[in-house]
Amino acid sequence: MNYYPIYLDLRDRRCVLVGGGPIAGGKARGLLDAGAHVIVIAPDLTPALNALVQAERLTHHARRYRTGDLAGAILAISATDDRAVNDAVWREANERGIPINVVDDPPHCTFIAPSILRRGDLTVAVSTPALAVRLREQFETLLGDEHARFLDLAGTLREPLAARYPDFETRKALWYRLVDSDVLDLLKRGDDAGAAQRITEIMGVVPQTT
Radius of gyration of the chain (CA): 21
**Which of 31-35, 107-111, 132-136, 186-190 shows the lowest mean pLDDT across its residues?**
132-136
Predicted pLDDT of residue 132: 67
Assess if CATH 3.40.50.720 describes domain 14-113: yes
Mean pLDDT of the chain: 90
Per the document, the length of the chain is: 210
